[in-house]
Amino acid sequence: MSRVIMIQGTMSSAGKSFLAAGLCRIFKEDGLSVAPFKSQNMALNSYITEEGLEMGRAQVMQAEAAGIRPEAAMNPVLLKPTSHMGSQVIVNGEVLGNYSAAEYFKMKKSLIPEIKRAYDSLAERFDVIVVEGAGSPAEINLRENDIVNMGLAELIDAPVLLAGDIDRGGVFAQLYGTAALLSDRERARIRAFIINKFRGDKEILKPGLSMLYERCPIPVAGVVPYMDVDLDDEDSLADRLWAKDTAMDRNGRKAFARIAVVRLPRISNFTDFNALEHLPGVALYYADRPEELSAADLVILPGTKNTMGDLKWLRETGMEAAILRKYGEGCFVFGVCGGFQMLGMRLSDPFGIEEGGTLRGLGLLPVETVFSREKTRTRVTGNAWVFEEWGGTKASGFTGYEIHMGETKRAGGRPCTGIRKESDPAGAAIKEDGCIQSRAAGTYVHGFFDSQEIQRAVWELLAGKYGISMDKLPEAGGFSMAAHKEEQYKKLAGILRENLDMDRIYGILDRRL
């Protein structure tokens, strides 16, 4: 069986996902086969594996860091919130059903055998398993049925590194308070603290580290600086969702065009748009107020876990009126998955999958959506026709995945893309996807914008509006997301090696410390 080490945090967004990914890359660089594991993940950013199973994107990112293929066993339980009080529960990549928080709390302990089987399947094949916790282990009201923090650590006999977020302040109280609220047996599992997201001179911290050890004799395995590492974020606390700079592109160049992604309350798979952040001369930002759309040249409606609920939010906040106004002024509007469904004429939910009943869409596309009980989970490849319709060029060679409840039928316009399953043989029939009508378009394909050809087509579309030619910005030919991620994993591992006591961490992994 493999060796195991677990990263827990004092709170959500303490940096557990990145620390786990960095350790995965370090162990890989050191010649070990390594796999990530998170027993229960609550996130709306998900991914479809080669087998057609659904899992959280954080473990996909960690698998990429480890240099291995993502598989659902790395995230056996995925919770996708559908409302403030309920979630869709996915077990080993398959939908189990929708449950209220109270219902799930009562039944989650029954999932332990599934979690243990998933973990064991990885432990039999890899040298090291890097496990990520969720939230905080000091949520004492949840201790009895815990399956993701100390309960899981005990189940798989994992030593724990506890990470605190100094950027939010109070890191000593975070670490000490978390340890104090644990039982003696649980506290003994914490073999070291990590202080994460530090800005400034580490010398200033040293007296505090000594005083912390006096009060709580757990060593600090490192002080990790605030890292400028561009990798997939897991949840709605991601910094990129709150940045509002529309004057500059990501690299500090003055922006000539702007892409506004509507920050829906239940936004999902916002990683779809990370590649567009790298278009030269283009500023991408997330908007949740009508006035924030005024500068946009392209408005994107992203995926959502509750299409009907978020469509009502668009209506109630004035965002729908702002989108329609921008469209009338000549702005392009593009929808992905739930965003595509919203752009249609009508949405119907006869089985109560979301909120039940029928709701009018934005009316920009001649499509109607009917929600069904079955979830589509398919990896696809295809060509995009949307940019030809908008006066640009055809873009081919993209890959991505469909993940949605319901079927959308087109009653006019043209298809946005032509796709087929990745598993289909060469020459298999092409399926029409999405819809284009005038300056509005939509697709069901997540990962659509990761394609360099799609990126180039988007850039040419926006540049053409301002009379900018490609020869003036040759780097606009496309951005390799895969190559960029590889650079970021190397950078992440390098920063962690420099700032963590890796001898201590290996000692913990080997049960010497």
Catalogue the active-site residues: 337, 446
Examine domains 3-231 and 244-481 and report if their fold is the same.
yes
| Listed residue (303, 404, 302) closest to 353, CA to CA | 404
244-481 CATH, one of 3.40.1190.20, 1.10.1020.10, 3.40.50.880, 3.40.50.150: 3.40.50.880
Kind and range of the H or E element at 407?
strand 395-410
- Is a pLDDT exceeding 60 seen at residue 67? yes
Question: For all residues of the chain together, what is the average pLDDT?
Answer: 93
Domain layout of the chain by residue ranges? 3-231, 244-481
The answer to whether the beta carbons of residues 259 and 333 sit under 8 Å apart is no
* pLDDT tens by residue, 43-58: 988 999 999 999 999 9
Backbone dihedral region for residue 282 (phi beyond 0: left; psi -120 to 50: alpha; all else: beta): beta
- Is a pLDDT exceeding 90 seen at residue 419? yes
- Residue 392's pLDDT band (boundaries 50, 70, 90)? confident
- Is a pLDDT exceeding 80 seen at residue 473? no
Fold of the CATH domain 3-231: Rossmann fold (3.40.50)
Q: Name the residue with higher pLDDT: 375 or 242.
A: 375
Q: At CA 138, angle to CA 132 and CA 144, rounded to 5?
A: 90
* pLDDT tens by residue, 115-165: 999 999 999 999 999 999 999 999 988 888 899 999 999 999 999 999 999
The pTM is what? 0.90
| Listed residue (330, 323, 283) closest to 300, CA to CA | 323
Chain centroid offset of residue 450 CA? 14
Q: Which long-range contacts (CB under 8 A, 24 or more apart) does 459-464 make?
A: 459/279, 459/280, 459/282, 460/387, 460/392, 460/393, 461/298, 461/332, 461/387, 461/390, 461/391, 461/392, 462/256, 462/257, 462/259, 462/279, 462/282, 462/297, 462/298, 463/256, 463/257, 463/281, 464/391, 464/392
- Residue 390's pLDDT band (boundaries 50, 70, 90)? confident
Query: Which amino acid is present at 159?
Result: P
pLDDT at residue 263 in the model:
95
pLDDT at residue 237 in the model:
53
Q: Which of these ranges, 231-235, 304-308, 374-378, 411-415, has the smallest mean pLDDT?
A: 231-235
DSSP string of 118-164? HHHHHHTT-SEEEEE--S-TT-GGGGGG-SSSHHHHHHHT--EEEEE
- Residue 480's pLDDT band (boundaries 50, 70, 90)? confident
457 HSE (CA, 13 A, CB side): 23
Q: Which long-range contacts (CB under 8 A, 24 or more apart) does 203-208 make?
A: 208/172
* pLDDT tens by residue, 69-121: 999 999 999 999 887 778 999 999 999 999 999 999 999 999 999 999 999 99
Query: Which amino acid is present at 392?
Result: G
